[in-house]
């Protein structure tokens, strides 16, 4: 097997509170770094073009599309994936709400939906169902669970405002 013309570089990524030193080429996306090198499979590869939202993660608390972000761009920043939302074995309030409201069917888009929902709540975009739908519009669900997703986001936002949530 021929060695790549572009040398692998050591990149330090802080993922879900743990540091990972990954030997990857500079052109590797965050999505591929998470899945292929850090072995975190919760972040899904959907369209690989930034159109479906399945690869949504948080970088320093802001949602990003991992398929459009180079891993080298987020070196030294705090990356949170769906695996990092639960704390001490307790689900995040949004994860709990998705279960309560049956806000998923096939489940493929669920991790990206949940990561966007957390950002939606944290950014205060839950004032109305219309506002939630607009914010979440970058996350596609082929099964059409949208009414349940909106209900879950609304419910989780209320729970988190009441201090019942597992983190913001």
* pLDDT above 70 coverage of the chain, percent: 92
Helix (H, G, I), strand (E, B) or coil at 56: strand
**What does the pLDDT average to over 82-88?**
96
**What does the pLDDT average to over 42-63?**
97
**What does the pLDDT average to over 6-24?**
90
Does residue 65 surpass a pLDDT of 60? yes
**What does the pLDDT average to over 93-118?**
97
pLDDT at 122: 96
Tell me the H-state helices in the chain: 30-32, 93-100, 110-122, 129-136, 146-161
* pLDDT above 90 coverage of the chain, percent: 89
What confidence category does residue 163 fall into, taking pLDDT thresholds of 50, 70 and 90?
Answer: low
pLDDT tens digits, 125-134: 999 999 999 9
Maximal CA-CA distance, the chain: 57
C-beta pairs of 57-62 under 8 Å, 24+ apart in sequence: 57/30, 57/81, 57/82, 57/115, 58/115, 58/118, 58/119, 59/30, 61/119, 61/122, 62/119
The model's pTM is 0.91
pLDDT at 1: 46
What confidence category does residue 8 fall into, taking pLDDT thresholds of 50, 70 and 90?
Answer: confident
What confidence category does residue 168 fall into, taking pLDDT thresholds of 50, 70 and 90?
Answer: very low
54: how many CB neighbours lie within 10 A of its CB?
A: 25
Does residue 4 surpass a pLDDT of 80? no
Does residue 50 surpass a pLDDT of 50? yes
The residue with greater pLDDT, 58 or 166, is 58
**8 Å CB contact between 94 and 153:** yes
Helix (H, G, I), strand (E, B) or coil at 24: strand
> Domains, the chain, ranges and CATH?
9-84 (3.10.20.30), 93-161 (1.10.150.120)
């Amino acid at each position: 097997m021929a060695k790549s013309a572009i040398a692998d570089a050591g990149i330090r990524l802080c993922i879900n509170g743990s540091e990972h030193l990954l030997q990857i080429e500079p052109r590797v996306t965050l999505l591929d770094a998470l899945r292929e090198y850090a072995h975190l499979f919760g972040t899904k590869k959907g369209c690989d073009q930034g159109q479906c939202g399945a690869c949504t993660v948080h970088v320093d608390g802001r949602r990003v599309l991992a398929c459009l972000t180079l891993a080298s761009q987020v070196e030294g920043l705090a990356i949170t994936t769906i695996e990092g939302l639960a704390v001490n074995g307790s689900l995040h309030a949004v994860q709990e709400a998705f279960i309560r409201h049956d806000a998923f069917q096939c489940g493929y888009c669920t991790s990206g939906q949940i990561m966007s929902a957390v950002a939606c709540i944290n950014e205060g975009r839950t004032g109305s169902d219309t506002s939630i739908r607009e914010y979440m519009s970058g996350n596609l669900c082929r099964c059409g669970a949208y009414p349940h997703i909106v209900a879950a986001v609304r419910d989780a936002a209320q729970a988190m405002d009441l201090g019942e949530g597992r983190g913001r």
